[in-house]
Structure 1
């Protein structure tokens, strides 16, 4: 499929989703449009099936293949981005980065050079973002920017007639595997994120699981002498039925679900009330995060939420709009929930490379052609130190210096003192907030940078070590540690725990080069 580009370089927006992914670009009229995949679909299931060590299927064909060979099929890999999570198919090692790279290769089916804006959940931390960037590199894609999904949705939203004069917007983004909510300001001069929050392990797949469990229980109750799992097709049948039923109930009140296993046939009447009961606590979890993010946004003056927009395929469930309306006292709007993110990514990609076509489009598109998007720190960063108030000097804590929702770019300088005599080296460990809320407890954080400040004179106890942390506008963390008396300095940037190192990346690159990708 021919794909439009800028000269010989293709400029794309990519939504690398947990359950579905998509690609978009800007047309000759300056407006974004979705590029359909090889089989004519606007979105591609983020599923990979390994036919062999050198051939994979991606998308709908992988979903179908997974029904007969689930052991060689992988889905929901986005939930593992940034984690040390090795996989093996046909004797070959893979990681979340390499699996994601195969999805990207299927999405961008071209031999032309590609530059792209790739979207990530706003609540993704540095490890997940670096893993996403590495997946793009493995796929041969030059990343223009890792753009937060709510910002992408707001860019698309900001080009529609819905914003009017702009204002403070809450984006509720419930995808297949992740949930984000972000308060931002959409104005003709650009998009500014005020506060963001979310849960990277909560999404539509959790509703699907609840429905599948309910349908299975109904089957067992109706045919108690049959174990449906003796039929190897049943797990796929019930999971497919769960997802399709959830989608159908966005527009209808009830739907009969037919399940077959081991020669038995059961019809389950499933309705919207049952769905809402099964997912009530999941909705409550998202609303708790919505209340938290609006509370944090209010600290920065964003008190009057004028708009709420729902994006992500799972936000089409009527219970979501009802809960958002009750929580915020505004009527939420649904703006192409399946495609808003990728269309916004395309706008941003063109914004970064060629504003001319945006100007030609007129209206809000022209207004944002040369305007920036600004974001915030998704999670707090700090330094691991020994607690000076601990009488036995064994307790360690994380002292955060760059804080969650601090506007990007962000920086902070802190000083600490050594506690031992004669030290000629000091280990510097940088941690990122891992939980929903910042905490000094080590187990509530995760290490992202690690190094040693060496070649120091024998320092006396109480010697000062100065540490500067910087987070760039695109979320890159860099840290400098300095010992003032000697001028010794340590710069940390490249080593990120949970992401494959350069040697492993080279191995994965060689492996991927020998794999044929089909849809």
Structure 2
């Protein structure tokens, strides 16, 4: 089975290619084409995933996990019925549910373009735990472009993909050339998405209920709070079609009708839209540095981009009318196209010549975040200063490789610690606090070196954004290779432990 999987923060979608060469969403066991990315631990050996898990959260929120994608790449342990789980294992349960009982699944799994090495590696581990062979980790905007065929081939400009999902936001500039689709620049925020609007709508509903019924404290009723959370998302979706919506709330034997207007929600989320626009301006500045002077098309991806205020704000900002086409499925469709092209090169025949030609051509992406090496600052008089020297830079074309010579500063040094850091903030910075460590190792067994001896460090980022590092001392030829251990991601022992725990769980929807 060859699939494209959009592992989303709030919803997950799987897609394949039908007999006519068209991408299609594959329904889950309940017949739904979108599966809520929610996991409920019903018992020690029983797990619910999807709509049933979301329904169960209303009565047992303590055993329910939502928005786990926002924790990918972090050390975040969860315990249910005495068993340890991580973001990787929770995500693996979601993936197991959406692929069903199928064996031999090969898939392209999508990730936000702005995901760093930790998040990408964690996603890869999750798919492996679910028994899926990952053909490629593909950036979500690139997947959407493969489906939408939105790259503009003339010299008028390129395409901006504005991807506002349930929990993450990406903005990407792409252009199409003779070598295929090329990502020019990426930027984003892994903690910004439709769930933030949901939270504000939920707060508005609760505050309105409290004003209408001052004798009842809704914050003491966990079931009611869970119901309001579900209602908030529903209200957000409905306000994309209608201008107002009346919500009936009942708690503690009291009732209240709360009217929510689209204008109210737009005012509540104005600062969130502004955050997306600032990131969009930043990615366009990066794209201009690489020769893209204007954007000829704007494509909206992700369910939250349905909100009318999004298209209105982008049109005012860019002067281009955004296009909204199948925002819930575009990423999964593009992933399915890519999966079949990788699994059966030269055999895939998609409907529509243009889509087929794009699938047959390589897709070139860029480095989502800068990588560098932590070094002692020899110019710091205190001798305690440290800084991160970035050698592979954000928005460089992938695959990317850089070899840099660093010098020792202590006589008789016979080992060198190599710590690789990844940009953590919105913009690259040499301050260690503005970066996060992703690889750590020690080049040992060196002859005693005089101060000023050279050590060559090579950083390589693969086409799908995974990092490997080699350190070499030229005089002795001693070499250190780092590629498996990534901070914040489960190691081999933990992976085996999680696999054993998952094997004993029954997953249903």
1:186 Cα deviation (Å)? 3.5
1:55 and 2:46 matched: yes
1:83 alignment partner in structure 2: 74
What SS does the corresponding residue of 1:64 show, helix, strand or coil?
A: helix
The residue correspondences of 1:296-315 to structure 2 (distance < 5 A) are 296-315=286-305
Structure 1: give runs of 5+ residues left out of the alignment. Answer: 1-9
Tell me: CA distance 1:286–1:360, structure 2 relative to 1, closer, same or farther (3 Å).
Answer: closer
Q: Decide whether the 8 Å contact of 1:188 with 1:364 is kept in 2.
A: no
2:22 alignment partner in structure 1: 31
Could you give the per-residue CA deviations for residues 356-399 of structure 1, whole angstroms, max 9, x where no partner exists? 55435341122124200010000000000011210011011100
2:172 alignment partner in structure 1: 182
1:272 and 2:269 matched: no
1:116 and 2:117 matched: no
1:323 alignment partner in structure 2: 313
Question: Whole-Å Cα distance in 2 between the matches of residues 192 and 24 of structure 1?
Answer: 23
What SS does the corresponding residue of 1:407 show, helix, strand or coil?
A: coil
1:67 alignment partner in structure 2: 58
1:230 Cα deviation (Å)? 3.0
Which of the numbers 191, 210, 214 marks the counterpart of 2:204?
214
Question: Whole-Å Cα distance in 1 between the matches of residues 347 and 416 of structure 2?
Answer: 53
Q: Decide whether the 8 Å contact of 1:30 with 1:357 is kept in 2.
A: no
What SS does the corresponding residue of 1:233 show, helix, strand or coil?
A: helix
1:510 Cα deviation (Å)? 0.5
1:470 Cα deviation (Å)? 1.0
Aligned CA RMSD, in angstroms, stands at: 1.4
1:3 alignment partner in structure 2: none
Could you give the per-residue CA deviations for residues 136-195 of structure 1, whole angstroms, max 9, x where no partner exists? 00000000000000000000011x7x9686951000000000000000014575211000
Question: Whole-Å Cα distance in 1 between the matches of residues 91 and 207 of structure 2?
Answer: 34
The residue correspondences of 1:359-374 to structure 2 (distance < 5 A) are 359=349, 361-374=351-364
Q: Decide whether the 8 Å contact of 2:3 with 2:15 is kept in 1.
A: yes
1:127 alignment partner in structure 2: 118
Could you give the per-residue CA deviations for residues 271-310 of structure 1, whole angstroms, max 9, x where no partner exists? 0110011000000000000000001001111112010000
2:464 alignment partner in structure 1: 474
Question: Whole-Å Cα distance in 2 between the matches of residues 230 and 128 of structure 1?
Answer: 36
1:437 Cα deviation (Å)? 0.6
1:238 and 2:222 matched: no
What SS does the corresponding residue of 2:446 show, helix, strand or coil?
A: coil
The residue correspondences of 1:197-212 to structure 2 (distance < 5 A) are 197-212=187-202
Q: Decide whether the 8 Å contact of 1:310 with 1:337 is kept in 2.
A: yes
Structure 2: give runs of 5+ residues left out of the alignment. Answer: none
2:93 alignment partner in structure 1: 102
Q: Decide whether the 8 Å contact of 2:376 with 2:387 is kept in 1.
A: yes
Which of the numbers 479, 493, 505 marks the counterpart of 1:503?
493
1:228 and 2:198 matched: no
2:418 alignment partner in structure 1: 428
Q: Decide whether the 8 Å contact of 1:412 with 1:469 is kept in 2.
A: yes
Q: Decide whether the 8 Å contact of 2:152 with 2:296 is kept in 1.
A: no
TM-score by length of 2: 0.98
Question: Whole-Å Cα distance in 2 between the matches of residues 472 and 263 of structure 1?
Answer: 59
Could you give the per-residue CA deviations for residues 44-85 of structure 1, whole angstroms, max 9, x where no partner exists? 000000011211000000001111111110010000000000
The residue correspondences of 1:398-437 to structure 2 (distance < 5 A) are 398-437=388-427
1:28 Cα deviation (Å)? 1.3
Question: Whole-Å Cα distance in 2 between the matches of residues 163 and 401 of structure 1?
Answer: 32
Q: Decide whether the 8 Å contact of 2:146 with 2:355 is kept in 1.
A: no
1:142 and 2:122 matched: no
1:42 and 2:33 matched: yes
Q: Decide whether the 8 Å contact of 2:68 with 2:87 is kept in 1.
A: yes
Could you give the per-residue CA deviations for residues 436-456 of structure 1, whole angstroms, max 9, x where no partner exists? 110111111010110000010
1:344 Cα deviation (Å)? 0.5
Question: Whole-Å Cα distance in 2 between the matches of residues 503 and 226 of structure 1?
Answer: 50
Q: Decide whether the 8 Å contact of 2:153 with 2:175 is kept in 1.
A: no
Paired residues, what number?
A: 508
1:214 Cα deviation (Å)? 1.1
1:485 and 2:475 matched: yes
Tell me: CA distance 1:14–1:25, structure 2 relative to 1, closer, same or farther (3 Å).
Answer: same
Could you give the per-residue CA deviations for residues 463-483 of structure 1, whole angstroms, max 9, x where no partner exists? 111111111112121111111
2:247 alignment partner in structure 1: 257
Question: Whole-Å Cα distance in 2 between the matches of residues 261 and 85 of structure 1?
Answer: 34
What SS does the corresponding residue of 1:252 show, helix, strand or coil?
A: coil
Q: Decide whether the 8 Å contact of 1:58 with 1:106 is kept in 2.
A: yes
Question: Whole-Å Cα distance in 2 between the matches of residues 153 and 105 of structure 1?
Answer: 23
The residue correspondences of 1:350-389 to structure 2 (distance < 5 A) are 350-356=340-346, 358-359=348-349, 361-389=351-379
1:202 Cα deviation (Å)? 0.4
